[in-house]
Amino acid sequence: MGTIFVDNLEPQSGTSLTLGASGDTVSLTSGAKTSGFGKIGQVVQTVKSDTFNMNSSTYADVTGMTASITPTTTSSKILVLVDTQVSSAVTYNVHLRLVRGSTEIHTKVQRIAQDGQGQYREYPLTYIYLDSPSSTSSTTFKLQMKVNGQPAYMNRPSDTGGYDPSGVESNSTITLMEILD
């Protein structure tokens, strides 16, 4: 087996460049860096299956909605995906905040509407944020929540048979994906 040293490989005009053949494996040496691929380096996920009750007008951590990841390079980006369900028996706003370490990086307000009978309805909520932590240290992301005077719940079954007619608690997740440059 030989080694070829080049600075640039270009396909012939009007063609594409193919590395390897069907069934071959193309590998990079440990420590080698690729550029421009935007590939996923690693994925971390936390699943919360219990109910969380919030009745505070100041932000507090949502227990069980924390995940940590150690980026491979300082140029890596972290895609944060939050999937949860929020419910209440009244109409008002639920405030969510995404925090990296102790730094607020994004906020979101979700309007919760009552069903007119004072019963709890569950509303799905998705949160997507692309962060650039510029670090190779373990980095923790967490979800915080606050409300304005009325209780709200995460993962609480609906009373009205809305999104969860079985009465079984829903699961919430926080997923971190490292996007390599």
Q: Band of the pLDDT at 22, cuts 50, 70, 90?
A: confident
Cβ 120 vs Cβ 114: under 8 Å:
no
Q: Does 172 have pLDDT greater than 90?
A: yes
Cα 88 to Cα 165: distance, rounded to the nearest angstrom: 16
Q: Does 24 have pLDDT greater than 50?
A: yes
- One-letter amino acid for residue 151 of the chain: P
SS3 labels along the chain:
CCCCCCCCCCCCCCCCCCCCCCCCCCCCCCCCCCCCCCCEEEEEEEEECCCEEECCCCCEEEEEEEEEECCCCCCCEEEEEEEEEEEECCCEEEEEEEEECCEEEEEEEEEECCCCCCCCEEEEEEEEEEECCCCCCCEEEEEEEEECCCCEEECCCCCCCCCCCCCCCCCEEEEEEEECC
Question: What pLDDT score does 163 carry?
Answer: 45
Classify 40-179 by CATH class: mainly beta
Cα 34 to Cα 150: distance, rounded to the nearest angstrom: 51
Query: Span 122-127, mean pLDDT?
Result: 81
Question: What pLDDT score does 5 carry?
Answer: 84
The string of pLDDT tens digits covering residues 140-169 is: 999 999 988 778 888 876 654 444 444 455
Cβ 122 vs Cβ 115: under 8 Å:
no
Question: What pLDDT score does 164 carry?
Answer: 47
Query: Span 84-101, mean pLDDT?
Result: 84
